[in-house]
Structure formats: structure tokens, C-alpha cells
Structure 1
């Protein structure tokens, strides 16, 4: 609570410091005048220097969003703890800009530490293959060991990463919660852009539920603990973080497991902040993973907190079944085969057929039924039909609580069709989609 209050104080202080700038912004104000005023608003100290360096504060960005069919204007600040919006999504990494963001984050959240490049090289044995953990859309992960014996996870961004990819991860500096990965520090050296995290001993969720050897070790009690931990983490992101953060790329690869199997939501490169919990926003650059992407986000670039709810539903079904959700795009599929199969099994009271065979009989069918029904409610095509994460927490916390509605049947697949999106790039398991029609 103390951390949350301090974070709130920092937010308020920044608004107060921006008041002189806001007063100068009107229809007749040109960009040069605004930037001059911005330079007078605030500055930061660079650690180890004897002089004060001033960085230009960012002008409030006015973003048009749609709320339940109506339009309103919302002030979205470009701040390192919130992520960059608008045209910054595709801006390439610039060292001066990144250092500026990192130093502002360091100023606001003292637990965030700068690491030297030599420390990183030593910790990873010069990024050796034996330290390699895996690769994502725009970065490679390594296991690192600091001189004190402390083990960390190191994310090394590549040349394809944008300013938004890096800055969105910086918001983790203020998100200190049990089920959110902990960001420890940063390093920028030449072309190297690196972030340092707390290391998760049991790797990612996909390495367990889809593995024939590790799968049986993840019994139902552990899987249920993971599901409930994800609920708590998403409730925090959507409601209690004060930022209404939508992750936009939830999948088993981005769920890391602590030594006791406590789940940690990671990889916030695609995350965005919303003005309220009912806000919808649009983007023409959809970066997500097939099988987990909500239909409205894939086809129209519309995202909201309900986008995460859909992905959570898929995660739950995969955790129960040990199966991957496959989407048949050419047949107009919007949710995936796992969702359709699970719905029919639920409707026919055959949910035992859905359960991962590696679990044997070591599960409570009532718990399976409740989790599966909640997952099906989450993975419905229409976001208005999906519950909120707060509702989901209530549904899973009380065994006696009757679920308010039944999940609707998924749409029947068509006999072909090209769909409304064009896939222009595929890297690893992440697909980059450009919207061509609505």
C-alpha cells in the first residue's frame, strides 16, 4: 500500500509540474513555443555527474477513443511508466531517448537500477549459448548470474524493436505485485538495449503444459494455483494498478513460473494503458499470437481490457487440456478448435474428455467444470459477452456461487474465405498484422 501511495504521489507531482506547460497549449501555440516551455518545466540529475541536465517534458497527447459506441477525448501522457502511444509505436530505438526514459523511471522508482555493460557481459559469459533462454518477437533472453550470486533474467532487444516495445516494458518498474514479473534494471551501451528482471526458476508455462515429461509433474492443484494467480495478476493490471493496463499478448510463453509455481505475467512490450475500464481503442498495427488473439483485435484492431479476458480464457482451456488452440483462418475461424471442442464437451457434460490425460484421475471434476465454463465465457466472440477479471475472480473464489450466464456457442466455421486481415510478417510465434478492411 505504501508503494502504491508513493506511486500515486509521483503521478500527482508530474501533473503539477506540467501545469505551466498545459497553460501554454492552445490553438495558436506553435510546436517551438511548447518545446521551449517544456524545457522549463522539469529536469533530472544524471547519477555521478556534477551538473544538471534538462530533458524536454512530453506534451500531452490527445487520443480519440470510443467508449460504448460514443466518442470522447482522453488525455494520455507519454510517460515511461505508462508506455508510448500513437506514432511512437513504430519509432526506432534512439539511445538518447532511451536513456532519457530510463533516467526518468529511475527518478520516479528508486528500486530501478542501472547496470553497466561489463556487468551484463560477465553475468551472461558474453551472451554465450549456455546462457540462452529463448527468443521472442524483438528480443533474446539470457540467464545471468551477478557477482553476488544473484540470478537474473536478461532481455537483449534487437534492431527490430521500437521505442514503444522498450518503453512499455519500463512500466514494470512501478508494477510491484506478486503475479507480475519484477523489473530490476537497465543497460544501454552503443547498440545494446538491455533490461534485467528477476529470474524465474521454472521457466514458462508452455514448457510444462505442452511437454510430455514435465506435464505430469504439473498436477491439477498446481494448475489451479496458476489459473487463480493469473486472475489476481490481471485484476491488478486492469483495476488496482491505477493505470488500466491491457497486456494484449497473453499466452503460455509469457507466463513465467517461480520456484513454487507462482505465475508471473511477463513481456509487456505490447501493453497499453487505457483511460478507463470501459475504454476501447484502435490500432492499425496488431501484434499478437494466433490462437490467443481476440476476434475484434485481429479483424478490426480494436482492443480493450476484454482483449486480455479472451486470451485468459484460452490460457485456462490450454492449462486444463494440455492442448494448443489452433485457429483456421481460411475457414473464417475466430476462436479456435480448442474453444469449439470444449464448448461441445461442456454442453454434453463430457468435460472429462477435455482434461489432460497426464493428470489421470487426480482432479476434482467440479473444479474442472467451473474453470472450463468460466474460460468459455471469457473466450466468446463478442467482448460485451465476456465477464471482467473482477467478475472472474468472484466466480472462481466461491464454489457455491452459481455462474450468472451460460457461454454462447461459437460460430460455425465457413467453407473457406480469406478473412479480413493480411499477415505481413511472422517472427517466432508472434504475428504482425496490418488491417486492410473493417
Structure 2
């Protein structure tokens, strides 16, 4: 099965020529330009150039019945493609691309259980996620980020990690998706600066939201917020005060954690079956990822070690998390 989305690729494919008659030459020129991108990855899987005719057939002419929803760059369709694909663990597989005139289309592996937010924030579906699935999802996301930050060539900063961009396969394994605003870093590049702030408020670190500075630490902050959402089953912006808005980070850090009441944050759907000290440790790790001082944040390698080994001591969060509240 293949998921289809007309959106920007990472890295973006060469632009097809838009001049001349509509005789298919644009598509041909675009496909020829993309041949340079066709190569073997470490698993021996090819990145393919897929014809527009094939995409049309696979989506039944982009029928409404095959439409899955709207992505950041356009509609997303379900498609049936011939052949199987090798899939990298915890990263949604980019199967191929298609260029037709001014259209730019990407073909991804299909995720039958949609996105994580469809389960976390739904009172009925959330019951399908026991506490072990919660841990597997947290660990899987951490593994995916570690791959992007450390083992991917080139290094990739996602910049929009959130529950809606975590897709779930048939076994509820998480896969990071939607690389439309991701940035590629050079081998010796540690951070970058932008005047155009993109992403989702509530998941942005202070240095990125206020100054436009981003790095792998920006994804660490987003992961911390997402981790607290997974534990609580609550959206980051779901806590309110009569005089001002509290986001999840503030609520956990100051209203619960410092008062020794962190267990009140645990999602009721897992509170009776989970191992409390483990879930409280997850909350602690999440708070370490969203401290206001970026120098105190762990790397994703540190996060995975802390998640997998309960004997590793955790430092106390030093300062109040950044908040848009």
C-alpha cells in the first residue's frame, strides 16, 4: 500500500520546465532531471520516479473515496502500488515522487492507523493504547529522531514534531512523517537562523520561537512536549486559568511536579495498569527536554538511554519551561 501526497520533498526535486506545449514533455523533463536522485539506500531500497499515469491509476483518478485528509502542502490520498518496499524503522518511508506540469507529488508508505493524535486525544480510541504501547510509541519516536540527528546522512532537523505528524502502522509502531519544513544540516553545521518562523506554537523552543535559531535541540524540546502529551492524554494547550493560559509544560512543572503530584497527570486510561514509577520517570525526562536553558537539555541519545535504563539517575529540572502562555 502506498500513501500519496502532493507536497515538498526532502530534499526538493528539480523543478520541471513549464514552457512548451502540453504534450507530456514537462513530465519527461522532470523525470529525467530526477534520475540523478535515484540511488540505493543502506537497505537496498530504491527511491523511484513514478509516472503520473501510475499515480492516477493508483488513486482511482484522485477520487474522494481515496482521500485521507489534508497535509501541510495539500490533499493526501490512499494509493495501491505494485510491489513491496523496504521500510526504515520509525521513519515514514518515501517510496518515490512524481512531477506533472506544475504538480509536485510524493508517494509514501501507507499508515493504516493514521496519526497519533487520533488516538491520544479521543476518549474512546485512547483506551486502545495500554501503557506498554505508550512506552513503545515514546521509544520509537526517540529512535526516529536519533536516526535523523545522528545516523542520517545528511543530518535532518524536523522542526514540526507533534502528535499529528506521528503516524502509526498496523502494529501501532510510530513513524515520524511530514518533512515539509525540515532542514538539512551540513556535517559541520550545529545550528541555523531564520527570519521565517514555521512550525506549531506550543512545540517550539524559546530560541527558535523568539530568535529564529534552531538545531537538533529544537526537536528535543518538541519531543519533550509530545512526551508529556502522550503520558497525560492531553493537548499542550488544554489547561486554562481564569486569568491566563497555562500550557501543559507549565501545569506539569509548577502545579504538579514541584508539589510531588506528578501522578495526577497520568492518563486515566493507563493509570490503573501502568507501573507508576516508570511513568513518573517519563514525565521527569520530558521536563528535562523543555527546560528554558537549552544547555541543560539532553540529546536524543541521552533520552533513549534514560528511557531504557531505569538505573541511570536523572538530574532535577533546573528552571521553568518556556511557555507561550
TM range (shorter): 0.7 to 0.9
Alpha-carbon separation, structure 2, partners of 1:244 and 1:95? 27
Q: Give the alignment partner of residue 111 of structure 1, picking from 46, 71, 91.
A: 46
For residues 336-351 of structure 1, what are the structure 2 equivalents within 5 Å? 337-344=247-254, 345-351=256-262
Q: Cα distance, 1:284 vs. partner?
A: 1.2
Cα distance in 2, alignment partners of residues 199 and 413 from structure 1? 34
8 A contact 2:10–2:179 mirrored in 1: no
Aligned to 2:300: 389
Corresponding residue number in structure 2 for 1:72: none
The equivalent of 1:358 in structure 2 is 269
Contact map agreement 2:9 2:179 (CA 8 A) in 1: no
Of structures 1 and 2, the one scoring higher in RCO (CA 8 A, sep 6+) is 2
Query: Given the superposition, is the C-alpha separation of residues 376 and 268 from structure 1 closer, same or farther in structure 2, using an over 3 Å criterion?
Result: same
* Cα separation, 2, equivalents of 1:124 and 1:100: 24
Q: Give 3-state SS (helix, strand or coil) of 2:38's partner.
A: helix
Identify if the C-alpha distance between structure 1 residues 412 and 123 changes in structure 2 by more than 3 Å, giving closer, same or farther: closer
Alpha-carbon shift at residue 364 of structure 1 (Å): 1.1
SS of structure 2 residue aligned to 1:134 = strand
* Equivalent-residue separation in structure 1 for 2:32 and 2:210 (angstroms): 36
What is the deviation of 1:413?
8.3
Q: Counterpart in 2 of 1:288?
A: 199
Residue 221 of structure 1 and its aligned partner are, at CA, apart by: 0.7
Q: How does 1:324-335 map to 2 (within 5 A)?
A: 324-326=235-237
| Offset, 1:217 | 0.7
Aligned to 1:247: 158
Matching residue of 1:316: 227
Deviations 1:288-331 (A, max 9, x none): 01111221111111000000000000110110111111299xxx
Q: TM-score scaled to structure 2, two decimals?
A: 0.83
Is there any run of 5+ residues in structure 2 with no aligned partner, and where? 1-7, 18-28
- Partner-residue secondary structure (3-state), 1:288: coil
Taking the aligned partners of 1:202 and 1:183, their CA distance within structure 2 comes to: 18
Q: 1:81 Cα shift? A: 9.4
Task: Provide the rounded CA distance (Å) in 2 between the counterparts of 1:259 and 1:407.
Answer: 40
Partner residue in 2 for 1:234: 145
Matched, 1:182 2:54: no
Note the alpha carbon deviations across 1:14-38, whole angstroms, 9 max, x for none.
xxxxxxxxxxxxxxxxxxxxxxxxx
Distance 1:257 1:273, change over 3 A: same
Q: Deviations over 1:147-202 (max 9, x none)?
A: x487x9xxxxxxxxxxxxxxxxxxxx9xx631111111111112322111111111
Matches of 1:205 and 1:192 in 2, distance apart?
Answer: 29
Cα separation, 1, equivalents of 2:94 and 2:9:
12
SS of residue matched to 1:261:
coil
| 1:254–1:266 CA contact under 8 A, matched in 2 | yes
Aligned 8 A contact 2:49 2:96 in 1 = yes
List per-residue Cα deviations over 1:58-77 (Å, max 9, x = no partner). xxxxxxxxxxxxxxxxxxxx
Q: How does 1:35-114 map to 2 (within 5 A)?
A: 83=11, 94-96=15-17, 99=31, 102-107=34-39, 111-114=46-49
SS in 1 for 2:229: helix
Alignment check: 8 A CA contact 1:278 1:305 kept: no
Normalised TM-score (structure 1): 0.63
Secondary structure of 2:201's counterpart equals: coil
Alpha-carbon distance in 2 for matches of 1:384, 1:98: 45
Matched, 1:259 2:170: yes
Distance 1:324 1:247, change over 3 A: same
Distance 2:91 2:16 in 1: 27
In 1, the alpha carbon distance for the partners of 2:177 and 2:291 equals: 24
Q: Which residue of 2 aligns with 1:3?
A: none
